[in-house]
Amino acid sequence: MSTVRAIELRLIGLPLVRPFRTSFGTSTEKVCVLVRLVTDAAEGWGECVADIEPGYSEEFNDGAWLVLRDHLAPALLRAGDVTIDDLDGVFAHVRGNPMAKAAMIDAFVDADLRARGESLAAWLGARRARVACGVSIGIADTTAALLEQVEGYLAEGYRRIKLKIEPGLDVERVQAVRAANPGIALSVDANAAYSIDDVAVFQALDASDLLMIEQPLHHADLVRHAELQRAIDTDLCLDESIRSAADAAAAIELGSCRIVNIKQGRVGGIVEARRVHDVCLAAGVPVWCGGMLETGVGRAQNLALAAMPGFTLPGDTSASARYFLDDLTDPFVMEPDGTMAVPAGPGIGVSPRLDRLAETTLRVESVAP
């Protein structure tokens, strides 16, 4: 039970160590909204996983800022004494906008757990102290450049390599990486760039012994994903299509995928992410933790989530150094065995450093009660 007294929104910007190109665009900078929430007893942090442009989903930073400032924050400040279980009801009048909701819900959960001295991982029922890390590699300019990046990340210890693909930069690139690395755990992510007419591309990928093919088709098309899954041997994994536990249940029932990527930010926060996990675990569907190039704040949340029992595949939970020269928090470091420690302190277990907040803040606004 906590009463929220103050909410602060902060737009922060951090350069990426290398551009990240997907089928929908290229990012050179991480820009996101951070929520700092103060209750009677503690402070909590949440990170919104939206980006500058509405390319991955409909949400984007400036839109999320308005939803947070004008709709979610006032509702929470008006709500009085609330528990984590009350949050769905407090925000029920705002349709959609899961990324904005996630930032607010995660900040509340962090503050509530810090007040009780309980870690997020313990609250989620996490079973592991360390999680296995994968890395997601953007579309490279050349096959040679891609092979060089793959070698570098493997040398660092990453346990699974994911390649971004798009039409025309798919089968040959994947074959080249597979030929150079016969034994590695390898997957691809299309970010919804294909249609069912491209079935031959995915049938050709069957020969590369991939762990999975992530989100080949439009996010709203569960029926076509089921059709594609029937036409290929490789397991499909859904990312953008799964925005709730209900979506996960529907995708599993329809046969649209055999693996689910869980991103707490995409499904409306850590509470719904736990429900997605539970639905998949009950159905025997493996899950793994996705990433949205988060700063240390979102990364801490991801690591706690990835330590839950249903997370049986390495996630896109890479070390801070894969993204930033200097993170917002103390850096998350991966050991040479390809694992990273799950924060064990109260709440998410980390806080942004004040000097880094000062250096990276582009805009800040307080929402008055």
Which one of residues 211, 292, 304, 340 is an interface residue with ligand SMG (CB under 6 A)? 292
C-alpha count within 13 angstroms, C-beta hemisphere, residue 88: 7
Task: Check residue 217 for interaction with ligand SMG (CB under 6 A).
Answer: no
CB of 227 to Mg ion, least distance (A): 20
314 binds, among ligand SMG, Mg ion, none (CB under 5 to 8 A by kind): none
Give whichever of 112 and 316 is closer to ligand SMG, judged by the CB atom: 316
CA distance 269 to 106: 6
Give whichever of 7 and 190 is closer to ligand SMG, judged by the CB atom: 190
263 catalytic? Reply is yes
210, 187 Cβ separation under 8 angstroms: yes
CA distance 33 to 351: 15
101 catalytic? Reply is no
CB of 163 to ligand SMG, least distance (A): 10
Which one of residues 170, 239, 272, 294 is an interface residue with Mg ion (CB under 5 A)? 239
369, 6 Cβ separation under 8 angstroms: yes
Give whichever of 19 and 117 is closer to ligand SMG, judged by the CB atom: 19
Q: Is 82 left (phi over 0), alpha (psi -120 to 50) or beta?
A: beta
Which one of residues 44, 98, 265, 291 is an interface residue with ligand SMG (CB under 6 A)? 291
> What track of x and - describes contact with ligand SMG for positions 23 through 62 (by CB under 6 A)?
----x-----------------------x----x------
Q: Are strands 287-289 and 259-262 parallel, antiparallel or unpaired?
A: parallel
CA distance 268 to 263: 9
51 binds, among Mg ion, ligand SMG, none (CB under 5 to 8 A by kind): ligand SMG
CA distance 120 to 126: 9
Which one of residues 47, 106, 189, 272 is an interface residue with Mg ion (CB under 5 A)? 189
Task: Check residue 351 for interaction with ligand SMG (CB under 6 A).
Answer: no
Task: Check residue 316 for interaction with Mg ion (CB under 5 A).
Answer: no
Q: Is 201 left (phi over 0), alpha (psi -120 to 50) or beta?
A: alpha
SS3 263: coil
Q: Is 255 left (phi over 0), alpha (psi -120 to 50) or beta?
A: left
C-alpha count within 13 angstroms, C-beta hemisphere, residue 209: 9
CB of 122 to Mg ion, least distance (A): 28
DSSP-assigned letter for residue 208: G
12 binds, among ligand SMG, Mg ion, none (CB under 5 to 8 A by kind): none
CA distance 153 to 136: 10
> What track of x and - describes contact with ligand SMG for positions 231 through 250 (by CB under 6 A)?
--------x-----------
Chain residues binding Mg ion by CB under 5 A are 189, 214, 239
Chain residues binding ligand SMG by CB under 6 A are 22, 27, 51, 56, 136, 189, 191, 239, 290-293, 316, 318
Catalytic residues: 164, 263
